[in-house]
Structure 1
Amino acid sequence: MSESVSKSTVKTRRVFYIPGYDPIHPRRYRELYRKEGAAQAQISGYEISLAAKQGGDRYGWQVNGQIDGAQVAAEFEVLVWSDIVRDSMATSIPATYLQMARTAWTYIASGALRRLMWLRKGPVIAALYPVGMLILQLLLALLIGHWAGLGLSKLVALIPAGTEGLWSTIKSLLSTGLYWGIAAIVFVTLMRWFKKQDGKFFAYYLMHDYAYSAASNGANPPELETRLAEFGDVIADALNTGVDEVLIVGHSSGAHLGVTILADLIRAGRVPVHGPELSFLTLGQVVPMVSFLPKADRLRGDLAYLCTRDELAWVDVTAPGDGCAFALCDPVAVSGVAPADKQWPLVFSAAFTQTLSPARWKELRWRFFRLHFQYLCAFDRPRDYDYFQITAGPKTLWDRYQDRNPSNSRIDIAASKYTSVTHGYAPK
């Protein structure tokens, strides 16, 4: 790819979107693309339309774009692992608190937490948020339960004692029993209510997210490895069709899944020499949250391998305004596995404070989870990053960015304590 870059106009494209740790049905991404694509088209002066996918058993949609005087047909597919996510989230409240303790211990004892803070404090704070919120919920439930139980027990104490002896003993036992009974009922009720309201708090969701990788110290669970192999087969099939470009988009946790899928495909010789252009776009990546863990040998090996390959072009886009991503952190370099012949990824910023108007930035600034998805949305002051032109426009990813310089403020120094690698998945 680096020596010979195709300049032909893209007319057909296959796009594979790899979501992050998300239990929601993939139709969410179709509706997001439909809504935000229409908004960006109106702002930027091009045309884009969506239609239902024709045939197949995988979720996706079709896009027709008329951009820069060219017409492009793109077929989208979402590589779904939301079922795995939902299964990993199906835990009780006590199990979640045990998970919290284990996850915190994993990051602290391994030294990963301290080293991650060297890079960006934003995503580390985001990782600590569910710990603090879950502890706060626990303390509030205990405190309110105590007050409720104490109030009723004091009411019992106001009942006239009558004769001393047996009645006094009964009253004392009743008061104690009411305290513990009411306190327990209120505590359990509040804890269940907090969990039901997690669509507002995101404490359980984020805790399960970080715990999923931490449970195996950075190694992929077997069920995820199986799914990644299936994703690889889907992409390999697309590479043997007549399209002009196959574009893999990995968002958030989906970025490091994409690294592994593509590394496996190239190692296995499944990327045809004269096939479509192979492009890899990572958005809002959180690679260090996994690659800094002791047993992430597989991911570190895949990073070290993929960053040298000519079979693809890899562009990594983040923004300092996204507090949930490791903004402008070169995922290969900071993981301590950058070889001398490293050429990928090209790292640059979506620059939210410049590509969003002051009014729009003010509206979104404190909506941290919404900002983490801004890469997939419209910008009202767009510059050279436009998700919809990348996915539905006439240029390949590398044609679009080969003259783009990496951001000067990128972080590309080794920060991980663990740099051991393996090459590919070895089932145990």
Structure 2
Amino acid sequence: MTLDGPDFSVETEVRLLRWDDIVAEDMEMPLWQRLPRYLLAAGDIILTGTFGRYVAAYWRYGLFAAYPLVLLVLFGLAGILASSLPGVFGLALPWPVRLFIALGTFLGLTALAGPRLHLTYMLADWIFARDMMRQWRPGIDARAEAFAREIAAGLADPAFDEVVIVAHSLGAAWMADAVARALAADPSLVSSGRPLGLVGAGSSTLKIALHPAAGWLREAVQRVADAPGITWAEYDSHVDFICFYKNDTPTALGLTVVHPPLRRSIRLSRMLSPATWQRFRGNLLRIHRQYVMGNEQRYLYDVHMIACGPFRFADIARRGEDLPGALGSDGSLAAATTPLPSITDMPDR
């Protein structure tokens, strides 16, 4: 991918580290399998105190975590109400019939809510999360190893001036794990002078790492945050219920690290025109996805400028306020009102 400006040109190689196919396995699971597995996951998260830790870290995330269970409880109550209605009108039904009505109502509402209220996605998401927390699914471990090899290959390639990993939501947990694995295999990986940038956009690393069984991820966070030569920044927003607002991951986990991530709270609405923002401001999942979608106006956070622009990620992370004016109105570096060092200013290695 090439980005050309009036006085610069940047070549970017984009590599997708995909894991959507693993979650798709849970999405494709029939309801009669998905529902009990979700209930086991929900019980695990509640009984281990993980849900309480979510609320303590950011109460709005607690609302997000509780959402699917609350829906199921409401559907269960609706089923009980539906089975009781004939009795209100003097029609006594045998208990097997009432049970059939209650279950039918519950399952019908659950099926209808799947696509409309994102319930299918939410049930699958928590099933996957529990498997990841407890390292129960071999495919997750194998994929993380593949990611680690891909990251190591990118850092070892002299063709690149910089390697930046952009991880969104739960992808931030994958990023920490994969980078830690790469560092464990080769501790000198980031000491060659080639910058490594880590972007945790709307990070949900704590979703996994706050579970007692996720010591492996807490160790990964420790390893990454102790390594030199890494710029790690976490971006969150107060309107995003699916991130851990105002939490940097190591501190929230009680870790003492050498290089804590930079934490940047941003206003997602500033990335867009007022008309665009108004169209989806009530859609929590769409808001959460905005971190990795395009800007309509210049702002201190711009994922495409991070990934493809002419500036080093370390400068964007530390001097984000200067990013809107880092290119002139004509798109040139020369006309910048708040200049940032460009990639071309990086010393040769």
Q: Fold match, TM over 0.5?
A: yes
* Structure 1: segments with no counterpart, 5+ residues: 1-62, 158-174, 406-428
What value does the CA root-mean-square deviation take over the aligned residues? 2.9
Higher helix share: 2
Opposite residue 318 of structure 2, the aligned amino acid is: Q
CA distance in 1, matches of 2:249, 2:286: 23
| Residues 16-95 of structure 1 mapped to structure 2, 5 A cutoff | 63-67=1-5, 69-95=7-33
Equivalent residue for 1:264? 181
Equivalent residue for 2:212? 294
Whether 2:110 is the aligned partner of 1:194: answer yes
Equivalent residue for 2:278? 362
One of 223, 233, 238 as aligned partner of 1:315: 233
Q: CA deviation at 1:120?
A: 1.0
Q: CA deviation at 1:221?
A: 3.1
DSSP-derived class of the 2:301 partner: coil
Equivalent residue for 1:161? none
**Deviates further, 352-361 or 83-92:** 352-361
Equivalent residue for 1:274? 192
Deviations 1:98-138 (A, max 9, x none): 33433333223222222321221111100100001122223
Equivalent residue for 1:225? 141
Deviations 1:379-405 (A, max 9, x none): 444321111111111112113233459
Opposite residue 118 of structure 1, the aligned amino acid is: A
Contact between 1:68 and 1:394, CA under 8 Å: does it hold in 2? no
DSSP-derived class of the 2:282 partner: coil
Q: CA deviation at 1:346?
A: 0.9
Whether 2:167 is the aligned partner of 1:250: answer yes
Deviations 1:143-164 (A, max 9, x none): 33554x769994xx9xxxxxxx
**Deviates further, 182-191 or 344-353:** 182-191
Q: CA deviation at 1:64?
A: 2.4
Q: CA deviation at 1:190?
A: 6.2
**Deviates further, 256-265 or 91-100:** 91-100
Distance 1:272 1:362, change over 3 A: closer
DSSP-derived class of the 1:78 partner: coil
Distance 1:263 1:132, change over 3 A: same
* Structure 2: segments with no counterpart, 5+ residues: 322-349
Opposite residue 168 of structure 2, the aligned amino acid is: H
One of 274, 299, 305 as aligned partner of 1:389: 305
CA distance in 2, matches of 1:128, 1:193: 18
One of 131, 135, 144 as aligned partner of 2:73: 135
Deviations 1:314-368 (A, max 9, x none): 11111111111102210111011123xx213111022235444554443332110
Opposite residue 247 of structure 1, the aligned amino acid is: V
One of 43, 47, 55 as aligned partner of 1:109: 47
Opposite residue 231 of structure 1, the aligned amino acid is: F
Give the length in aligned residue pairs: 319
Distance 1:65 1:334, change over 3 A: same
CA distance in 2, matches of 1:227, 1:274: 26
Q: CA deviation at 1:222?
A: 2.4
Deviations 1:32-62 (A, max 9, x none): xxxxxxxxxxxxxxxxxxxxxxxxxxxxxxx
DSSP-derived class of the 1:106 partner: helix
Whether 2:262 is the aligned partner of 1:346: answer yes
Distance 1:184 1:314, change over 3 A: same
Equivalent residue for 1:22? none
CA distance in 2, matches of 1:384, 1:391: 14
**Deviates further, 391-400 or 236-245:** 236-245
Contact between 1:356 and 1:379, CA under 8 Å: does it hold in 2? yes
RCO (CA 8 Å, sep 6+): is it higher in 1 or 2? 1
Equivalent residue for 2:314? 398
CA distance in 1, matches of 2:36, 2:71: 15
TM (normalized to structure 1)? 0.66
DSSP-derived class of the 2:156 partner: coil
